[in-house]
Amino acid sequence: MVPGLKPLFDDVLRSPDENMALHKKTLALDALSKLAQQFSNRPDFHELIDVLLLTLSGQLTAVNTFAAFYRPGAVSAEPVYFGTGKFKKNAPPSLALNSEQRQFLQRSEEPLAVESLKPERCMMTLADELAAFGAKLIVPLVHKDELIGILGSGPRVSGKPFEETDIHLLTTLTHTVTPFISNSFHFVEIAQLNTWYLDILNSVKQGVFVFNHQYRLKKVNAPAMAILRDLRHDSVAVESLLHQPVQKVFPDDLFHDWSHRIRGGSSEIDNLRVENMAAGNGEQERIFKVYLGCIQREQDINTDLVVTVEDVTEQTQSERRLFELEKFSEKGEMAASISHELNNYLGMVLGGVELTTLALERGNMEKAAETLGKLKHNVISMERFTAGLTDYSKVTSGDENADLNGIVTETLSFLTLRKKFQKIKIRTDFDHTIPSLDMNTGHVSQLLLNLLNNAADAIEEANRQAGQITVSTSLEANRVILTVSDNGVGITPEVREKLFKTQFTTKAKGHGHGLVTCARLIRDNGGEIDLETEPGVGTAFTVTFPVGESILTPA
C-alpha cells in the first residue's frame, strides 16, 4: 500500500455483526469461484470482463466500476476499456499511461485510493482526472511483474467509505483473477491477430492452400476457394474441404496431376519451387503458376506445405504471342541476313564468271583457270553456308532431348557467318559430361540466339576492336550451367532492374522482347537465369537447368 493510503482506510466502518462479515466473505468466495470457473471456460472476453465488473460492483456495493487493459509492452497505448453504469460510455483520457506511471502502478499491487495518488508527481494528473471521472479506487492488475490492466470503482451506493474487509476481498479477488484475465486477454489478442492475418491472406489475389505434413488441407483463403468453385462449377464450402487430402482438394479430372506433383514437391520443399500447372478441360483450361513452399517452425518437426496458386492464363497466352512474334522477328532478321550472305557469294560468283569470260576472250587460259578455281571456292563456301542453314533448321525443329553442346556448336556455326559476328572472336568451353536436357531443342536454340545476339549488340555498342564472346557449359551440383559472357558495354543497375520486363529495350531498333522470351523459356523448363555485369567491362549471363528426373535424362 502506498504512503498516504492507509489513513483513508483507518476510519472504515467495522461491521458490528461478525455474522454479517462472515456472510459477506461467503458471498465473495462464491463470486470468486464462479468467476474462476467462467474464466477457465474462456467465454467471450467482453462478457467475461462485464461479469467481473458487475461482481466487483456487487461486492463493493459500488455505483459503477471500470477496467482498462494494456497490450503487453505497449507504453502510452490506448487501453482496451470496459465500464459499468455511468462509467460505461467514456474512458477517462488519462488511462493511456506513460512508462513512469506504469512502473509506479506495477510496484503497487494493492488497491489504491485515488486521493492518495496526488502526492506522487507522476500520478498527479492521473489522480485529478480519475477524481473528476468519479473514480474512488483503482487496483493495478500485475501479472508476472507486468501491468496488464487497472480495475476501478466509483463511490459506494451508501456514500460510506470502503471497509477494510472490502479492501481485503478486493485484493484477494484481483490476485485470483489477474492470471485468468491475462490469459483471456492474450486469447483475444491472438484471435485478433488471427483475424488480421486471415484478412491479409484473403486480400491477396493469389489462392493460398496450406496442407499439413500428411497433405491434408489446413487453411485456405477466399481467392483459393474462388478458383476451386470456378473450375468445379459448384459452390463447394470451405468446411467440406478442410482436413481433406490433397487429391480431394485437387481432383485429377480437373487438376491434371497436381496432387502428385505437389506431393512430389514436399519432400524437398526447403526451397521455394515454382511450376506452371494446367487445370480445367477443353476451352476452359486455365494455366496456373503454382508456388510450393514450406513453413517450418522451431520445435515442430512437422512441416506445413504452402501452395500458392496464381492464374496466369492470360499472361501465358500473351507471352506465347510475344514468343511467336520474337520468332517471327528473328526469322525476318535471319532472312535478311541469309539474303545478304547469299548476295555476297552471288556477287563473288558473278564477278568470277565475268573475270573468267574476260580471260577466255583474251585467250588467257591460265587466268581463266585461276578465276574458275576462285569461282569454285566461292560456290563451295556457298554450299557450306546452305548446309549450315540446314543443320540450324534441324536444331530449331523442336525435338526433345537437347544436346546443349551440339546446339551451341550448330548455332555458332550459323551465326558466325552473319556480318555482326564476323569481327567478334567467339570462344567455346564445353563440359562434355553434361547430360542432354529434357527440353525442346528449338527453345534452347532460341534462348542461345537471343543471348548471343545481345552479346554482339553490346560489343558493337561498346565499339570494341577486339570483341569477344565466350560460351561455356558445365555440370555443377546436379545443375547444367550455360554461360554466355561478352566484353561489351555492360548493363547499368537501372537497366538491370528492368531487364526482364516486357517491352523494355535499350536498343534503337529493339522491341524489348528478347530477354523476356529468354526468361520465359528458361522458367518454362524449370531453370533460372542470372547475370553478372559491369558497365564498360562486359556481361555474363548464366542459365542454370536443374538436373532432376523430370528435367534431365542421361545423354
Partner 1 sequence: MSDSQIRQELIDDGVVVLNPGRTLDNNNAHEMVEVISSTQEAGRNNIIIDMCDMEFISSAGVGSILGSVETSREAGGDIVLCNVSDAIMHVLVVLDLVDYLTIKTDRQQSAEFCGIPRG
Binder of partner 1 out of 157, 200, 226, 346 (CB under 8 A): 157
Query: Applying CB under 8 A, which part among 157-165, 334-342, 366-374, 516-524 lies near partner 1?
Result: 157-165
Is 238 near partner 1 (CB under 8 A)? no
Nearest residue (CB) to partner 1, 134 versus 140: 134
- Please say whether the beta carbons of 246 and 217 come within 8 A: yes
Determine the Cα–Cα distance for residues 485 and 543; give it in Å rounded to an integer: 11
Q: How far apart are CA 494 and CA 476, in angstroms?
A: 31
Nearest to 53 by CA among 159, 186, 164, 149: 149
Side-chain half-sphere exposure of 75, counting CA atoms within 13 A: 8
Q: Output 356-361 pairs: Cβ under 8 A, ≥24 positions apart.
A: none
Contact flag: residue 91 with partner 1 (CB under 8 A): no
Which listed range, 47-55, 210-218, 305-313, 453-461, lies at the site for partner 1 (CB under 8 A)? 47-55
How far apart are CB 54 and partner 1 at their closest, in Å? 3
- CB neighbour class for 73 (10 Å; exposed up to 12, middle 13-18, buried from 19): exposed
Distance of closest approach, residue 158 Cβ to partner 1, in angstroms: 6
Nearer Cβ to partner 1 (20/124): 20
Among 5, 8, 38, 352, binds partner 1 (CB under 8 A): 38
Residue 203 in contact with residue 221, Cβ under 8 Å? Answer: no
What DSSP string runs through 214-227?
A: TSBEEEE-HHHHHH
What character string, x for contact with partner 1 (CB under 8 A) and - otherwise, covers 158-187?
A: x-x---------------------------
Applying the rule CB under 8 A, the residues between 70 and 89 that interact with partner 1 are: 84-86, 88
Least separation in angstroms between residue 90's CB and partner 1 is: 14
Residue among 479, 482, 475, 456 at smallest CA distance from 404:
482
Dihedral sign from CA coordinates of 9, 13, 16, 20: negative
Say whether residue 348 binds partner 1 (CB under 8 A). no
* CB closer to partner 1 out of 51 and 122: 51
Burial of 509 (0-12, 13-18, 19+ CB in 10 A): exposed
Four-residue CA torsion sign, 41, 45, 51, 53: positive
Q: CB nearer to partner 1: give 54 or 426.
A: 54
Tell whether residue 12 is a contact of partner 1 (CB under 8 A). no
Query: Under the criterion CB under 8 A, does residue 44 sit at the interface with partner 1?
Result: yes
Q: Are 471 and 426 in contact (CB under 8 A)?
A: yes
Q: Please, are residues 209 and 220 in contact by the beta-carbon 8 Å criterion? A: yes
State which of positions 454-493 bind partner 1 (CB under 8 A): none
By CB under 8 A, residue 24 contacts partner 1: yes
The minimum distance between CB 47 and partner 1, in angstroms, equals 5
Q: Which residues bind partner 1 (CB under 8 A)?
A: 20, 23-24, 27-28, 30-31, 34-35, 38, 43-44, 47, 50-51, 53-59, 61-65, 84-86, 88, 157-158, 160
